[in-house]
Structure 1
Amino acid sequence: MLKLFTSWDEEVHLIEQVIMKRAASGGELTILEAGCGQRWPLNLGSIQYNLTGVDQDAEALRIRTEIIKDLHQGIHGDLREIDFPEHSFDVIYSSYVLEHIDGAESVLRNFTRWLKKDGILIIMIPDPESVRGFITRFSPHWVHILYYKYIIGHKNAGKPGYAPYPTIYDKVLYRKNLQQFCTINGLIIDVRAGNGQFVLGVGILDFILKFITKLIATLSFNKLSSDHVNLLYILRKEE
């Protein structure tokens, strides 16, 4: 059974506490935000850290470096191709990025190599084995754009610098495969949890979409989950 969060704030608070605990050992933390997008959602209080952001979307990175200005280093590049020295980072944070990468396993290998011993790898992904993940995998990208624009209300959806991005779902992201990757590559799973929050809409639309979600889960003999949408992994590299 997955631990289920009831809100984004609860999930973020746990991540912040894990990073702060890592900082308790002393010294400045080195943090990589892998797929940094436009904003850093964490509040790490007074701890000292150096934040490196990498993103393949040049416009999102421009907004982050020229307007938000909270990165110490901003790098435009592909996580499959860029390189850092081994044991460069105390923390690697990747939020809703890996599902968009064809060859995500190679990125995970990079993360493992770049992470210091006993370092923390935080991964957030939509669960490909949830009902929403199933729908995402088998629906065209233009449908995702319409959903973001007209259901969620993101008027810039699909424009340069703005989600949604095409979804790939590399096979390593399936729960059993990711657990096997961790075992083989010396990563300990400290936390594996689901987020039940599903932004649907309002009124009758919300009711209809929830009904459809439950129906698809039932028709799949509950192989597809309807009680969560996203997954959070907090992994630790063995010493």
Structure 2
Amino acid sequence: MPNVSTARERAATLRGVTDLRTPPTFDTDVFHERVREYADERPFERLRVLDAGCGRSAPLDLHPAECHVTGVDVDLAEVQAGVRARRDLDAWHLGDLRTVPMPPRVYDIVHASYLIERIPHAELVLDRFVAALRPGGLMLVRFRDRDSAFGRLDRIAPRWLRSILWQRGVPPRPVYERVASLAGMRAYCLMRGLVVVEEHTSAGRVTRSGTVVRMLCRAVAVLSRNRATSAYSEAAMVIRKPENRYARII
């Protein structure tokens, strides 16, 4: 008798359909849980992990999986300092993310946290991540959504207002290309034949920034007729590169 769940996943992959396992609510441990599940299915393998944006993000919780972690990020002074402070990286490369070393079909996990909203040519870089994944591998992406009220403020606000949004140190203005949104990432996955396993949203940045920022975000939502939502500011997605050789995969 054919495996029903495998057949469903294959069908979803061929259609490019989002196949959510959970409703869109935030869970800080979702990436760790998916890595643990992936490792449990491969008990005698040392997982290869690509940590993209490693200079400005916290390490991915990989315990108790045995892993080799390679970091990549843009080559900027502040990023270099962040990479050197990391103790979990076995190797790292800084430079243009369109050209830094990423061998094809090598990594079990690609982790990109708060990266795609801050870089140009984001889709091309995502294509490289997908190409670097083994069939069946997972891409774990977290980003601030350009379509949220916070994202819109961060894109267009003058420096003095961005200092209120960020409070401690104003980061360089992010690029926020179209793919840096839930709608943009869903469309990207559809076009590449990738399976969205889970997606979660959070108002984390807004919550941490205090009452003034919450009021500003609500005002932006009202003025935009909720096209820029104040319900969340960031999103996390678990994306699988299917093993089906007939899927539209790079």
Residue 140 and residue 80 in structure 1: after superposition, are their counterparts in 2 closer, same or farther (change >3 A)?
A: farther
The question of 1:43 aligning with 2:61 is answered yes
Q: Which residue of 2 aligns with 1:92?
A: 110
CA distance in 2, matches of 1:65, 1:176: 31
Matched AA of 2:106? S
Match of 1:74 in 2: 92
Q: Which of 217, 220, 233 is the matching residue for 1:216?
A: 220
* Residue aligning to 2:24: 3
1:193 aligned partner? 200
Matched, 1:238 2:242: yes
Q: What CA distance in whole angstroms lies between the structure 2 residues aligned with 1:52 and 1:119?
A: 16
- The total of aligned residue pairs comes to 218
Letter in 1 for 2:25: L
Change (3 A) 1:84 1:211: closer
Instruction: Answer whether contact 1:64 1:71 (CA < 8 A) is retained.
Output: no
**Cα distance 1:77–1:215, how it changes in 2: closer, same or farther (>3 A)?**
same
Listed as ranges, the gaps of 5+ residues in structure 1 are 159-163
Distance in 1, Cα, partners of 2:164 & 2:209: 13
Bigger Cα displacement from structure 2, 82-91 vs 40-49: 40-49
> In the TM superposition, what is the alpha-carbon distance from 1:79 to its structure 2 partner?
1.2
Look up the match of 1:23. Answer: 39
Are the counterparts in 2 of residues 189 and 233 from structure 1 also a CA contact under 8 Å? yes
Whichever residue aligns with residue 222 of structure 1, its letter is N
List gaps (5 residues or longer) in structure 2.
1-21, 244-250
Query: Is 1:132 aligned to residue 150 of structure 2?
Result: yes
Q: Hey, what does 1:175 align to over in structure 2?
A: 182
Normalized against structure 2, the TM-score is what?
0.79
Counterpart residue number, 2:231:
227
1:180 aligned counterpart, secondary structure: helix
Contact 2:25 2:201 in 1 (8 A): yes
Change over 3 Å in CA distance of 1:168–1:58 after alignment to 2: closer
Give me the TM-score of the superposition, normalised by structure 1.
Answer: 0.82
SS of 1:71's partner is coil
Question: Using the alignment, how far apart are the partners of 1:218 and 1:147 within structure 2?
Answer: 18
Change (3 A) 1:64 1:131: closer
